[in-house]
Copies of this chain bind each other. A is one copy, B any other.
Amino acid sequence: MRRGDATRERLLTETTRLVHRSGFARTSVNTVLQAAGIKKGALYHHFPGKDELGLAVLARARTAFLAFIDTALTAPSPLEGLDRFFAAALQAHRDMGFVGGCLWGNTALEMSDSSPAHTEIVARVFEEWISRMERVIRAGQEAGQIRTDLSAGDLARLVVAGIEGGIMQSRLKKHEGPLRSCLASLRVLLVKEDYGRPGA
């Protein structure tokens, strides 16, 4: 890695950490420079300004998040994929002590009314997340594991909404209880009533 690339990488890593924790409005260029240990000129060598740095943070985080989803959903059966995803999501937020929450949910609420560029990336990530959940839920419906009275798309949208809302409640309490409860309820509600019953 060239020295310039290493600087760019450190800038992105530190900005991601700060934005995840405090949001875009409260992450100043000076905080970023201090955290990354670089001079203002080096930042502007890599990014025209704070907004472009922020968008690069989201673009990089998107790649990591989609990989996280795909890894978690890979399982012997659709329902096991959902279970693994739920467990991985709970573990990720538990590891952070329910600090920071979901970068996508945070940015959605912070930027939806003020920055079309941020909103476009976040809206796209939500649709990519929902469409991956939809695919596994549809496979679960076809395998007789998941209820079919609601479309896979509608169920996927609610699953993502329920997870974001659960993270919100767990962050408020700094406790896994609310997110764990939401995930457990979603699983009960998704599973086909007679799935796994003897004779079904």
A positions within 8 Å CB-CB of B = 21-23, 25-26, 99-101, 105-106, 108-110, 112-114, 119, 122-123, 126, 149-150, 154-155, 157-158, 160-166, 168-169, 171-174, 178, 181-182, 184-186, 188-189, 193
Contact = CB atoms under 8 A, between A and B. Distances in A.
Contacts of A165: 105, 158, 160-165
B161 A182 contact: yes
Identify which of A155, A168, A178, A181 gathers the most chain B CB atoms within 10 Å of its CB. A168
Given A113-B21, A123-B172, A171-B112, A161 B154 contact: no
A169 B106 contact: no
A145 B112 CA distance: 37
Given A123-B172, A185-B150, A23 B161 contact: no
B126 A171 contact: no
A155 B162 CA distance: 11
A196 to B, nearest CB: 14
Contact of A25 (B26, B106, B113, B169): B26
B160 A161 contact: no
Given A23-B110, A126-B169, A157-B169, 8 more contacts: A25-B25, A100-B113, A123-B172, A160-B165, A161-B165, A162-B162, A162-B165, A164-B168
Contacts of A173: 123
B157 A182 contact: yes
A85 to B, nearest CB: 16
